[in-house]
Amino acid sequence: MTTIRIKENSLLAKLAARNLKSEKMAIVLGKTIRLHNTTKEEFLQNTRWVRHEVAHVIQFQEKGFISFIISYLLESFNLGYEHNRYELEARQKEKDPSILNNVSFN
């Protein structure tokens, strides 16, 4: 079982929201989903969004913390956020209910 922490009112998520010009934001670091301008309850009700962010948690686990951050940033710099392979994969996982198997939130 993977336990994922959800942190509301994250400054990091707020900065990401500003950078991406998004009203609401979730950003993952390791096993923590950091939220801006949304509550934990609202986030958890949006299944596609939850699956997307859980995909990023799994990517961190598979690649390793520092390795994933470097690779993610290089992908975003070279290809842009929309074409970053980690974002493409996470968008695909939005439709996969099995990604939430063995996951809990606190």
pLDDT at 25: 98
What residues in the chain have per-residue pLDDT under 70?
none
User: Could you report the per-residue pLDDT of 45-62, keeping only the tens digit for each?
Assistant: 999 999 999 999 999 999
Check residue 101 and report its DSSP letter: T
- Single out the residue of 32, 82, 75 nearest to residue 57, CA to CA: 32
pLDDT at 93: 98
pTM of the model: 0.95
Which helix (H) or strand (E) covers residue 27, if one does? strand 25-29
pLDDT at 103: 98
Domains contained in the chain, number:
1
Range of the domain at 54: 2-105
pLDDT at 30: 98
